[in-house]
Chain A
Protein backbone atom coordinates (compact mmCIF):
# COMPACT_ATOMS: atom_id res chain seq x y z
CA UNK A 1 0.00 0.00 0.00
CA UNK A 2 2.58 2.54 1.10
CA UNK A 3 4.64 1.99 -2.05
CA UNK A 4 1.57 2.67 -4.21
CA UNK A 5 0.87 5.85 -2.27
CA UNK A 6 4.51 6.88 -2.60
CA UNK A 7 4.59 6.11 -6.33
CA UNK A 8 1.40 8.06 -6.92
CA UNK A 9 2.65 11.17 -5.15
CA UNK A 10 6.11 10.79 -6.68
CA UNK A 11 4.60 10.87 -10.17
CA UNK A 12 2.11 13.58 -9.22
CA UNK A 13 4.97 15.68 -7.86
CA UNK A 14 6.99 15.07 -11.01
CA UNK A 15 4.03 16.10 -13.17
CA UNK A 16 3.52 19.21 -11.04
CA UNK A 17 7.19 20.12 -11.36
CA UNK A 18 6.83 19.91 -15.16
CA UNK A 19 3.26 21.23 -15.30
CA UNK A 20 3.85 23.44 -18.32
CA UNK A 21 5.13 20.63 -20.52
CA UNK A 22 2.39 18.30 -19.26
CA UNK A 23 -0.37 20.83 -19.98
CA UNK A 24 1.09 21.71 -23.37
CA UNK A 25 1.21 18.03 -24.27
CA UNK A 26 -2.32 17.21 -23.04
CA UNK A 27 -4.01 20.21 -24.63
CA UNK A 28 -1.96 19.83 -27.80
CA UNK A 29 -2.82 16.13 -28.13
CA UNK A 30 -6.50 16.75 -27.33
CA UNK A 31 -6.70 19.64 -29.80
CA UNK A 32 -4.95 17.80 -32.60
CA UNK A 33 -6.96 14.61 -32.15
CA UNK A 34 -10.23 16.53 -31.98
CA UNK A 35 -9.38 18.47 -35.14
CA UNK A 36 -8.41 15.27 -36.93
CA UNK A 37 -11.57 13.53 -35.69
CA UNK A 38 -13.95 16.13 -37.13
CA UNK A 39 -12.37 15.97 -40.58
CA UNK A 40 -14.21 14.17 -43.32
CA UNK A 41 -13.58 10.45 -43.59
CA UNK A 42 -12.71 7.82 -41.01
CA UNK A 43 -10.38 8.84 -38.19
CA UNK A 44 -8.47 5.57 -38.25
CA UNK A 45 -6.59 4.81 -41.40
CA UNK A 46 -4.56 1.65 -41.82
CA UNK A 47 -1.67 3.30 -43.74
CA UNK A 48 -1.36 6.15 -41.30
CA UNK A 49 -1.47 3.78 -38.35
CA UNK A 50 1.33 1.80 -39.98
CA UNK A 51 3.40 4.94 -40.49
CA UNK A 52 2.79 5.96 -36.87
CA UNK A 53 3.80 2.48 -35.68
CA UNK A 54 7.05 2.69 -37.66
CA UNK A 55 7.67 6.15 -36.18
CA UNK A 56 6.93 4.75 -32.72
CA UNK A 57 9.46 1.94 -33.28
CA UNK A 58 12.17 4.32 -34.47
CA UNK A 59 11.54 6.71 -31.63
CA UNK A 60 11.53 3.86 -29.12
CA UNK A 61 14.95 2.67 -30.28
CA UNK A 62 16.29 6.23 -30.37
CA UNK A 63 15.04 6.88 -26.81
CA UNK A 64 16.44 3.58 -25.56
CA UNK A 65 19.85 4.64 -26.81
CA UNK A 66 19.74 8.23 -25.59
CA UNK A 67 17.59 8.37 -22.43
CA UNK A 68 20.38 7.27 -20.06
CA UNK A 69 22.65 10.04 -21.40
CA UNK A 70 19.78 12.54 -21.22
CA UNK A 71 19.46 11.75 -17.51
CA UNK A 72 23.16 12.28 -16.78
CA UNK A 73 24.01 8.57 -16.98
CA UNK A 74 25.03 6.24 -19.80
CA UNK A 75 23.92 2.95 -21.33
CA UNK A 76 27.01 1.33 -19.82
CA UNK A 77 25.61 1.89 -16.34
CA UNK A 78 22.50 -0.18 -16.95
CA UNK A 79 23.68 -3.40 -15.40
CA UNK A 80 20.59 -4.71 -13.75
CA UNK A 81 17.17 -5.90 -14.95
CA UNK A 82 15.18 -3.15 -13.21
CA UNK A 83 17.20 -0.62 -15.19
CA UNK A 84 16.26 -2.30 -18.46
CA UNK A 85 12.61 -2.41 -17.39
CA UNK A 86 12.71 1.28 -16.54
CA UNK A 87 14.34 2.06 -19.86
CA UNK A 88 11.68 0.11 -21.78
CA UNK A 89 8.84 1.71 -19.82
CA UNK A 90 10.26 5.24 -20.19
CA UNK A 91 11.15 4.91 -23.88
CA UNK A 92 7.83 3.21 -24.63
CA UNK A 93 5.90 5.81 -22.65
CA UNK A 94 7.52 8.81 -24.29
CA UNK A 95 7.30 7.24 -27.75
CA UNK A 96 3.60 6.48 -27.19
CA UNK A 97 2.97 10.02 -25.96
CA UNK A 98 4.65 11.48 -29.02
CA UNK A 99 2.57 9.17 -31.23
CA UNK A 100 -0.54 10.82 -29.80
CA UNK A 101 0.60 13.96 -31.61
CA UNK A 102 2.07 12.28 -34.65
CA UNK A 103 -1.01 10.29 -35.68
CA UNK A 104 -3.48 13.22 -35.80
CA UNK A 105 -0.88 15.36 -37.57
CA UNK A 106 -0.50 12.67 -40.26
CA UNK A 107 -4.28 12.38 -40.42
CA UNK A 108 -4.69 16.15 -40.83
CA UNK A 109 -1.99 16.28 -43.47
CA UNK A 110 -3.83 13.55 -45.34
CA UNK A 111 -7.16 15.32 -45.18
CA UNK A 112 -5.62 18.64 -46.28
CA UNK A 113 -4.11 16.99 -49.39
CA UNK A 114 -5.91 18.16 -52.51
CA UNK A 115 -8.11 15.41 -53.93
CA UNK A 116 -6.63 13.81 -57.11
Chain B
Protein backbone atom coordinates (compact mmCIF):
# COMPACT_ATOMS: atom_id res chain seq x y z
CA UNK B 1 0.00 0.00 0.00
CA UNK B 2 1.24 3.47 -0.79
CA UNK B 3 2.59 5.27 2.25
CA UNK B 4 0.26 7.81 3.73
CA UNK B 5 1.45 11.09 5.12
CA UNK B 6 0.92 11.26 8.84
CA UNK B 7 -0.34 14.28 10.73
CA UNK B 8 2.31 15.14 13.28
CA UNK B 9 1.27 15.83 16.85
CA UNK B 10 2.59 19.36 16.70
CA UNK B 11 0.75 20.32 13.55
CA UNK B 12 -2.38 18.59 14.79
CA UNK B 13 -2.26 20.58 18.02
CA UNK B 14 -1.58 23.75 16.08
CA UNK B 15 -4.60 23.07 13.94
CA UNK B 16 -6.84 22.37 16.86
CA UNK B 17 -5.67 25.48 18.63
CA UNK B 18 -5.70 27.90 15.79
CA UNK B 19 -8.50 26.42 13.72
CA UNK B 20 -9.27 28.41 10.64
CA UNK B 21 -6.60 30.99 11.31
CA UNK B 22 -3.88 28.35 11.27
CA UNK B 23 -5.29 26.88 8.10
CA UNK B 24 -5.33 30.24 6.44
CA UNK B 25 -1.76 30.86 7.53
CA UNK B 26 -0.67 27.45 6.29
CA UNK B 27 -2.26 28.04 2.95
CA UNK B 28 -0.61 31.43 2.70
CA UNK B 29 2.82 30.10 3.56
CA UNK B 30 2.54 27.30 0.99
CA UNK B 31 1.41 29.88 -1.45
CA UNK B 32 4.35 32.14 -0.84
CA UNK B 33 6.97 29.44 -0.69
CA UNK B 34 6.29 26.94 -3.36
CA UNK B 35 2.85 26.73 -4.73
CA UNK B 36 2.41 29.95 -6.61
CA UNK B 37 4.73 28.86 -9.39
CA UNK B 38 4.01 25.14 -9.33
CA UNK B 39 2.51 24.11 -12.67
CA UNK B 40 0.34 21.31 -11.31
CA UNK B 41 -2.92 20.17 -12.81
CA UNK B 42 -5.69 19.50 -10.30
CA UNK B 43 -8.89 17.90 -11.53
CA UNK B 44 -12.06 18.23 -9.47
CA UNK B 45 -14.81 15.76 -10.31
CA UNK B 46 -18.15 17.28 -9.35
CA UNK B 47 -19.26 20.90 -9.07
CA UNK B 48 -21.61 20.69 -6.11
CA UNK B 49 -20.93 22.54 -2.88
CA UNK B 50 -17.69 20.66 -2.21
CA UNK B 51 -16.30 20.89 -5.75
CA UNK B 52 -17.00 24.60 -6.16
CA UNK B 53 -15.63 25.56 -2.72
CA UNK B 54 -12.43 23.68 -3.40
CA UNK B 55 -12.11 25.14 -6.91
CA UNK B 56 -12.37 28.66 -5.49
CA UNK B 57 -9.75 28.06 -2.83
CA UNK B 58 -7.32 26.30 -5.16
CA UNK B 59 -7.71 28.85 -7.95
CA UNK B 60 -6.58 31.54 -5.51
CA UNK B 61 -3.41 29.70 -4.55
CA UNK B 62 -2.26 27.80 -7.63
CA UNK B 63 -1.51 30.79 -9.82
CA UNK B 64 0.63 28.85 -12.29
CA UNK B 65 -1.30 25.64 -11.88
CA UNK B 66 -4.37 24.52 -13.72
CA UNK B 67 -7.65 23.61 -12.07
CA UNK B 68 -10.18 21.66 -14.12
CA UNK B 69 -13.73 21.01 -12.94
CA UNK B 70 -15.67 18.20 -14.59
CA UNK B 71 -19.46 18.16 -14.25
CA UNK B 72 -22.22 18.57 -16.79
CA UNK B 73 -24.64 20.08 -14.29
CA UNK B 74 -25.04 23.82 -14.80
CA UNK B 75 -27.84 24.53 -12.34
CA UNK B 76 -26.77 24.69 -8.73
CA UNK B 77 -29.11 23.25 -6.13
CA UNK B 78 -29.10 24.63 -2.61
CA UNK B 79 -30.09 21.21 -1.25
CA UNK B 80 -30.57 22.26 2.41
CA UNK B 81 -33.47 24.48 1.30
CA UNK B 82 -35.42 21.59 -0.19
CA UNK B 83 -37.13 20.70 3.10
CA UNK B 84 -38.62 24.19 3.14
CA UNK B 85 -39.72 23.90 -0.50
CA UNK B 86 -41.36 20.52 0.09
CA UNK B 87 -43.31 21.89 3.05
CA UNK B 88 -44.50 25.01 1.32
CA UNK B 89 -42.36 27.53 3.18
CA UNK B 90 -40.06 28.52 0.30
CA UNK B 91 -40.61 28.86 -3.44
CA UNK B 92 -38.49 26.57 -5.61
CA UNK B 93 -36.66 29.56 -7.11
CA UNK B 94 -34.96 30.15 -3.77
CA UNK B 95 -32.89 26.95 -4.05
CA UNK B 96 -31.75 27.37 -7.64
CA UNK B 97 -28.58 29.04 -8.87
CA UNK B 98 -26.07 28.85 -11.70
CA UNK B 99 -22.75 27.10 -11.21
CA UNK B 100 -21.18 29.56 -13.65
CA UNK B 101 -21.84 32.34 -11.12
CA UNK B 102 -20.00 30.50 -8.36
CA UNK B 103 -17.05 28.92 -10.17
CA UNK B 104 -13.91 31.06 -10.44
CA UNK B 105 -13.22 32.38 -13.94
CA UNK B 106 -9.71 30.94 -14.12
CA UNK B 107 -10.72 27.26 -13.93
CA UNK B 108 -11.38 25.03 -16.93
CA UNK B 109 -14.88 23.65 -16.78
CA UNK B 110 -15.51 20.51 -18.78
CA UNK B 111 -19.28 20.13 -19.04
CA UNK B 112 -19.21 16.34 -19.18
CA UNK B 113 -19.52 13.60 -16.60
CA UNK B 114 -16.68 11.39 -15.42
CA UNK B 115 -17.42 7.90 -16.70
CA UNK B 116 -14.26 6.20 -15.45
CA UNK B 117 -11.63 6.86 -12.82
CA UNK B 118 -8.25 5.34 -13.66
CA UNK B 119 -6.07 6.24 -10.68
CA UNK B 120 -3.19 3.98 -11.75
CA UNK B 121 -2.71 6.15 -14.83
CA UNK B 122 -3.76 9.38 -13.09
CA UNK B 123 -6.52 9.81 -15.58
CA UNK B 124 -10.27 10.22 -15.75
CA UNK B 125 -12.32 9.47 -18.85
CA UNK B 126 -15.53 11.39 -19.46
CA UNK B 127 -18.78 10.10 -20.94
CA UNK B 128 -17.82 11.56 -24.33
CA UNK B 129 -14.61 9.50 -24.29
CA UNK B 130 -12.33 12.42 -23.47
CA UNK B 131 -9.33 11.39 -21.37
CA UNK B 132 -8.18 13.97 -18.84
CA UNK B 133 -4.85 13.49 -17.10
CA UNK B 134 -4.22 14.94 -13.69
CA UNK B 135 -1.44 15.39 -11.18
CA UNK B 136 -3.93 15.58 -8.31
CA UNK B 137 -7.58 14.65 -8.16
CA UNK B 138 -10.40 15.72 -5.85
CA UNK B 139 -13.47 13.50 -6.00
CA UNK B 140 -16.59 15.46 -5.05
CA UNK B 141 -19.34 13.65 -6.91
CA UNK B 142 -21.89 13.55 -4.07
CA UNK B 143 -24.36 10.69 -3.77
CA UNK B 144 -26.43 8.67 -6.18
CA UNK B 145 -30.08 8.17 -5.28
CA UNK B 146 -31.02 4.55 -5.84
CA UNK B 147 -34.79 4.92 -6.27
CA UNK B 148 -34.66 1.81 -8.51
CA UNK B 149 -34.04 -0.31 -5.42
CA UNK B 150 -37.70 0.28 -4.57
CA UNK B 151 -39.71 -1.96 -6.84
CA UNK B 152 -42.39 -0.22 -8.88
CA UNK B 153 -41.22 3.30 -8.10
CA UNK B 154 -41.21 5.81 -10.91
CA UNK B 155 -39.77 9.15 -9.78
CA UNK B 156 -42.09 10.95 -12.23
CA UNK B 157 -44.90 9.92 -9.88
CA UNK B 158 -43.49 12.07 -7.05
CA UNK B 159 -46.04 14.71 -6.15
CA UNK B 160 -48.97 12.72 -7.51
CA UNK B 161 -51.37 10.43 -5.76
CA UNK B 162 -49.88 10.90 -2.30
CA UNK B 163 -46.26 10.22 -3.21
CA UNK B 164 -43.58 12.58 -1.87
CA UNK B 165 -39.79 12.63 -1.74
CA UNK B 166 -37.85 15.72 -0.74
CA UNK B 167 -34.50 14.31 -1.87
CA UNK B 168 -34.87 13.86 -5.62
CA UNK B 169 -34.64 17.45 -6.91
CA UNK B 170 -36.11 20.92 -6.43
CA UNK B 171 -38.87 20.02 -8.93
CA UNK B 172 -39.78 16.90 -6.98
CA UNK B 173 -39.63 18.85 -3.71
CA UNK B 174 -42.08 21.38 -5.13
CA UNK B 175 -44.37 18.58 -6.31
CA UNK B 176 -44.01 16.84 -2.94
CA UNK B 177 -45.55 19.92 -1.37
CA UNK B 178 -48.65 19.36 -3.53
CA UNK B 179 -48.99 15.88 -2.05
CA UNK B 180 -48.22 16.98 1.51
CA UNK B 181 -50.56 19.97 1.32
CA UNK B 182 -53.44 17.78 0.22
CA UNK B 183 -52.67 15.29 2.97
CA UNK B 184 -52.45 18.06 5.57
CA UNK B 185 -56.00 19.06 4.69
CA UNK B 186 -57.54 15.61 4.32
CA UNK B 187 -55.53 13.44 6.72
CA UNK B 188 -55.35 9.65 6.32
CA UNK B 189 -52.48 7.18 6.57
CA UNK B 190 -49.12 8.91 6.30
CA UNK B 191 -45.83 7.00 6.07
CA UNK B 192 -42.30 8.38 6.30
CA UNK B 193 -39.46 6.01 5.47
CA UNK B 194 -35.74 5.76 6.10
CA UNK B 195 -33.48 3.32 4.20
CA UNK B 196 -30.68 1.23 5.69
CA UNK B 197 -27.89 2.91 3.69
CA UNK B 198 -26.00 6.02 4.77
CA UNK B 199 -27.96 9.07 3.61
CA UNK B 200 -27.19 12.72 3.13
CA UNK B 201 -28.58 14.98 5.84
CA UNK B 202 -30.02 12.35 8.11
CA UNK B 203 -32.09 15.08 9.74
CA UNK B 204 -34.06 15.88 6.58
CA UNK B 205 -36.59 13.00 6.85
CA UNK B 206 -37.15 13.89 10.50
CA UNK B 207 -37.70 17.55 9.66
CA UNK B 208 -40.11 16.54 6.90
CA UNK B 209 -42.09 14.57 9.47
CA UNK B 210 -42.13 17.37 12.05
CA UNK B 211 -43.13 19.98 9.49
CA UNK B 212 -45.86 17.74 8.06
CA UNK B 213 -47.24 17.33 11.59
CA UNK B 214 -47.25 21.10 11.89
CA UNK B 215 -48.99 21.49 8.51
CA UNK B 216 -51.61 18.93 9.63
CA UNK B 217 -52.31 21.10 12.66
CA UNK B 218 -52.46 24.27 10.58
CA UNK B 219 -54.59 22.88 7.73
CA UNK B 220 -57.09 20.88 9.74
CA UNK B 221 -56.08 17.32 8.84
CA UNK B 222 -54.48 16.36 12.15
CA UNK B 223 -57.52 14.69 13.77
CA UNK B 224 -58.05 12.54 10.66
CA UNK B 225 -54.39 11.60 10.24
CA UNK B 226 -52.49 8.51 11.33
CA UNK B 227 -48.80 9.18 10.89
CA UNK B 228 -46.12 6.48 10.83
CA UNK B 229 -42.34 6.49 10.62
CA UNK B 230 -40.72 3.27 9.37
CA UNK B 231 -36.95 3.23 9.67
CA UNK B 232 -34.81 0.46 8.22
CA UNK B 233 -32.18 1.21 10.85
CA UNK B 234 -32.21 0.78 14.62
CA UNK B 235 -33.00 4.37 15.42
CA UNK B 236 -34.10 7.73 14.11
CA UNK B 237 -31.01 9.76 14.93
CA UNK B 238 -27.43 8.74 15.66
CA UNK B 239 -27.16 10.50 19.04
CA UNK B 240 -29.13 8.77 21.83
CA UNK B 241 -30.47 11.88 23.62
CA UNK B 242 -31.82 13.36 20.40
CA UNK B 243 -33.12 9.99 19.23
CA UNK B 244 -35.21 9.74 22.41
CA UNK B 245 -36.36 13.36 22.13
CA UNK B 246 -37.61 12.79 18.57
CA UNK B 247 -39.23 9.48 19.50
CA UNK B 248 -41.06 11.13 22.40
CA UNK B 249 -42.27 13.93 20.15
CA UNK B 250 -43.51 11.48 17.52
CA UNK B 251 -45.29 9.41 20.17
CA UNK B 252 -46.86 12.56 21.64
CA UNK B 253 -48.26 13.29 18.19
CA UNK B 254 -49.80 9.82 18.10
CA UNK B 255 -47.35 8.45 15.57
CA UNK B 256 -46.33 4.82 15.21
CA UNK B 257 -42.59 4.28 14.85
CA UNK B 258 -41.10 1.02 13.63
CA UNK B 259 -37.45 0.08 13.33
CA UNK B 260 -35.70 -2.38 11.00
CA UNK B 261 -38.63 -1.99 8.65
CA UNK B 262 -37.64 -1.21 5.06
CA UNK B 263 -39.68 -0.03 2.10
CA UNK B 264 -39.28 -2.58 -0.69
CA UNK B 265 -41.97 -1.83 -3.25
CA UNK B 266 -44.69 0.62 -4.05
CA UNK B 267 -47.74 0.61 -6.27
CA UNK B 268 -48.22 4.30 -6.90
CA UNK B 269 -51.56 3.88 -8.73
CA UNK B 270 -53.20 1.83 -5.98
CA UNK B 271 -51.29 3.61 -3.20
CA UNK B 272 -49.93 0.44 -1.66
CA UNK B 273 -46.51 0.29 -0.02
CA UNK B 274 -44.72 -2.99 0.69
CA UNK B 275 -42.30 -3.19 3.62
CA UNK B 276 -40.08 -5.93 5.02
CA UNK B 277 -39.97 -6.01 8.82
CA UNK B 278 -37.28 -7.02 11.29
CA UNK B 279 -38.22 -10.72 10.96
CA UNK B 280 -37.99 -10.60 7.18
CA UNK B 281 -41.79 -10.68 6.78
CA UNK B 282 -43.24 -8.73 3.85
CA UNK B 283 -46.38 -6.75 4.53
CA UNK B 284 -48.47 -4.33 2.54
CA UNK B 285 -50.20 -1.18 3.65
CA UNK B 286 -52.43 1.47 2.06
CA UNK B 287 -51.25 5.01 2.21
CA UNK B 288 -52.57 8.50 1.64
CA UNK B 289 -49.13 10.01 1.90
CA UNK B 290 -45.85 8.16 1.41
CA UNK B 291 -42.65 10.15 1.89
CA UNK B 292 -39.74 8.17 0.50
CA UNK B 293 -36.06 8.54 1.32
CA UNK B 294 -34.21 6.59 -1.36
CA UNK B 295 -31.29 4.29 -0.58
CA UNK B 296 -28.05 6.13 -1.42
CA UNK B 297 -24.63 5.10 -2.67
CA UNK B 298 -21.65 6.58 -4.46
CA UNK B 299 -22.15 7.28 -8.16
CA UNK B 300 -21.32 4.39 -10.53
CA UNK B 301 -17.94 5.66 -11.80
CA UNK B 302 -16.66 5.88 -8.21
CA UNK B 303 -18.35 2.66 -7.11
CA UNK B 304 -16.85 0.69 -9.99
CA UNK B 305 -13.37 2.16 -9.69
CA UNK B 306 -10.31 1.32 -7.64
CA UNK B 307 -11.07 4.40 -5.58
CA UNK B 308 -14.00 2.78 -3.75
CA UNK B 309 -13.81 0.91 -0.45
CA UNK B 310 -13.43 -2.79 -1.13
CA UNK B 311 -13.98 -3.90 2.45
CA UNK B 312 -15.76 -2.70 5.55
CA UNK B 313 -19.21 -1.25 5.96
CA UNK B 314 -18.67 1.40 3.28
CA UNK B 315 -17.89 -1.15 0.56
CA UNK B 316 -21.45 -2.04 -0.36
CA UNK B 317 -22.25 1.57 -1.28
CA UNK B 318 -18.95 1.90 -3.16
CA UNK B 319 -18.08 5.02 -1.14
CA UNK B 320 -14.73 6.72 -1.69
CA UNK B 321 -11.96 5.10 0.36
CA UNK B 322 -10.42 8.05 2.17
CA UNK B 323 -8.73 8.34 5.52
CA UNK B 324 -11.37 9.80 7.81
CA UNK B 325 -8.99 12.38 9.29
CA UNK B 326 -6.87 13.54 6.37
CA UNK B 327 -9.53 12.89 3.69
CA UNK B 328 -6.72 11.59 1.51
CA UNK B 329 -7.29 8.40 -0.45
CA UNK B 330 -6.00 5.37 1.41
CA UNK B 331 -4.07 4.04 -1.61
CA UNK B 332 -3.52 7.00 -3.93
CA UNK B 333 -1.98 9.95 -2.07
CA UNK B 334 -2.63 12.31 -4.97
CA UNK B 335 -6.37 11.71 -4.61
CA UNK B 336 -8.58 13.44 -2.03
CA UNK B 337 -12.29 13.22 -1.39
CA UNK B 338 -14.72 15.83 -0.20
CA UNK B 339 -18.43 15.92 0.52
CA UNK B 340 -21.05 13.24 0.45
CA UNK B 341 -19.02 10.80 -1.66
CA UNK B 342 -16.57 10.17 1.18
CA UNK B 343 -16.78 6.77 2.84
CA UNK B 344 -16.36 8.19 6.31
CA UNK B 345 -18.58 7.68 9.35
CA UNK B 346 -21.47 10.13 9.82
CA UNK B 347 -21.61 13.52 8.17
CA UNK B 348 -23.10 13.85 4.72
CA UNK B 349 -24.10 17.47 5.12
CA UNK B 350 -23.23 20.87 3.71
CA UNK B 351 -21.94 21.67 7.20
CA UNK B 352 -19.46 18.80 6.83
CA UNK B 353 -18.44 20.24 3.47
CA UNK B 354 -17.94 23.65 5.09
CA UNK B 355 -15.58 22.22 7.70
CA UNK B 356 -13.76 19.70 5.51
CA UNK B 357 -13.02 21.86 2.45
CA UNK B 358 -10.23 23.86 4.17
CA UNK B 359 -8.81 20.58 5.47
CA UNK B 360 -8.77 18.96 2.03
CA UNK B 361 -7.22 22.08 0.53
CA UNK B 362 -4.53 22.36 3.21
CA UNK B 363 -3.63 18.67 2.92
CA UNK B 364 -3.67 18.74 -0.87
CA UNK B 365 -1.39 21.78 -0.95
CA UNK B 366 0.92 20.11 1.56
CA UNK B 367 1.03 17.03 -0.65
CA UNK B 368 1.89 19.16 -3.66
CA UNK B 369 4.58 20.91 -1.65
CA UNK B 370 5.92 17.55 -0.48
CA UNK B 371 5.22 18.37 3.14
CA UNK B 372 3.49 16.52 5.96
CA UNK B 373 -0.27 16.73 6.02
CA UNK B 374 -1.07 19.51 8.47
CA UNK B 375 -4.83 19.19 8.95
CA UNK B 376 -7.10 16.62 10.49
CA UNK B 377 -10.88 16.40 10.23
CA UNK B 378 -12.91 15.58 13.34
CA UNK B 379 -16.01 14.53 11.41
CA UNK B 380 -17.96 17.70 12.17
CA UNK B 381 -21.53 17.55 11.02
CA UNK B 382 -24.52 19.68 11.80
CA UNK B 383 -28.24 19.47 11.55
CA UNK B 384 -30.61 22.33 12.19
CA UNK B 385 -33.46 20.04 13.23
CA UNK B 386 -36.69 21.90 12.46
CA UNK B 387 -39.20 20.74 15.03
CA UNK B 388 -41.98 23.04 13.80
CA UNK B 389 -42.32 26.14 11.69
CA UNK B 390 -40.56 28.76 13.76
CA UNK B 391 -38.40 26.55 16.01
CA UNK B 392 -35.34 24.38 15.56
CA UNK B 393 -32.49 22.70 17.39
CA UNK B 394 -28.93 23.35 16.29
CA UNK B 395 -27.20 20.00 16.67
CA UNK B 396 -23.49 19.86 15.83
CA UNK B 397 -21.34 16.81 16.50
CA UNK B 398 -18.21 14.94 15.45
CA UNK B 399 -17.21 11.38 14.49
CA UNK B 400 -17.47 10.29 18.13
CA UNK B 401 -20.95 11.68 18.53
CA UNK B 402 -19.64 14.38 20.89
CA UNK B 403 -21.48 17.67 20.65
CA UNK B 404 -19.33 20.42 19.14
CA UNK B 405 -21.40 23.62 19.22
CA UNK B 406 -19.91 26.49 17.23
CA UNK B 407 -21.58 28.95 19.59
CA UNK B 408 -21.17 27.50 23.09
CA UNK B 409 -24.05 29.62 24.45
CA UNK B 410 -26.58 27.87 22.20
CA UNK B 411 -27.82 24.74 23.93
CA UNK B 412 -28.31 22.05 21.26
CA UNK B 413 -30.86 20.31 23.49
CA UNK B 414 -33.25 23.27 23.38
CA UNK B 415 -35.63 24.24 20.63
CA UNK B 416 -35.09 27.84 19.75
CA UNK B 417 -36.29 30.62 17.51
CA UNK B 418 -32.65 31.60 17.02
CA UNK B 419 -31.89 28.25 15.38
CA UNK B 420 -34.93 28.72 13.13
CA UNK B 421 -33.76 32.21 12.12
CA UNK B 422 -30.34 30.77 11.35
CA UNK B 423 -31.78 28.00 9.20
CA UNK B 424 -34.35 30.14 7.42
CA UNK B 425 -32.43 33.38 6.98
CA UNK B 426 -28.72 32.95 7.55
CA UNK B 427 -27.58 29.54 6.38
CA UNK B 428 -28.08 30.13 2.67
CA UNK B 429 -25.99 33.34 2.65
CA UNK B 430 -23.37 31.44 4.67
CA UNK B 431 -23.51 28.57 2.18
CA UNK B 432 -22.89 30.99 -0.70
CA UNK B 433 -19.89 32.39 1.18
CA UNK B 434 -18.66 28.81 1.57
CA UNK B 435 -18.95 28.27 -2.19
CA UNK B 436 -16.73 31.31 -2.71
CA UNK B 437 -14.18 29.72 -0.40
CA UNK B 438 -14.57 32.31 2.36
CA UNK B 439 -16.12 30.39 5.24
Interface flag for B390 (CB, 8 Å)? yes
A residues near B21, Cβ cutoff 8 Å: 1, 5
Q: Which residue of B lies closest to A85 (CB)?
A: B418
Given contacts A2-B406, A78-B417, A82-B409, contact A71 B429 (CB under 8 A): no
Q: Assess whether A74 is interfacial by the CB under 8 Å rule.
A: yes
CA–CA, A10 and B429, complex, Å: 6
The answer to whether A80 touches B19 (Cβ under 8 A) is no
Task: Decide yes or no whether A42 CB sits under 8 A from chain B.
Answer: no
A-chain residues with CB within 8 Å of residue B432 when the two chains form the complex: 13, 16-17
Interface string of B387-398 (1 = CB under 8 A from A): 011110000000
- For B439, list chain A residues within 8 Å (CB): 5-6, 9-10
User: Are A72 and B429 in contact, with the CB atoms below 8 A?
Assistant: no
Measured between alpha carbons, how far is A16 from B19 in the docked complex, in Å? Answer: 26
| Contacting pair A82 B406 (CB below 8 A) | no
- Tell me whether B98 is interfacial, beta carbon within 8 Å: no
Q: B30: shortest Cβ distance to chain A, in Å? A: 20
Closest to B434 in A: A9
Residues on A with beta carbons closer than 8 Å to the beta carbon of B409: 82
Q: Which residues of B does A touch, CB under 8 Å?
A: 18-21, 89, 388-391, 406-407, 409-411, 414-418, 420-421, 424-426, 428-430, 432-433, 438-439
A73-B421, A79-B414 given; 13 more Cβ-contact pairs under 8 Å: A1-B21, A2-B20, A5-B21, A6-B430, A9-B438, A13-B430, A14-B425, A71-B425, A73-B389, A79-B415, A80-B417, A80-B418, A86-B418
Nearest first, the 5 A-B pairs at minimum CB distance are: A73-B390, A13-B429, A9-B433, A83-B417, A2-B19
A interface residues, Cβ below 8 angstroms from B: 1-3, 5-6, 9-10, 12-14, 16-17, 68, 71-74, 77-80, 82-83, 86-87
12 residue pairs bridging A and B, Cβ less than 8 Å apart: A1-B19, A1-B20, A5-B439, A9-B430, A9-B439, A10-B429, A13-B426, A14-B429, A71-B417, A71-B425, A77-B420, A80-B418
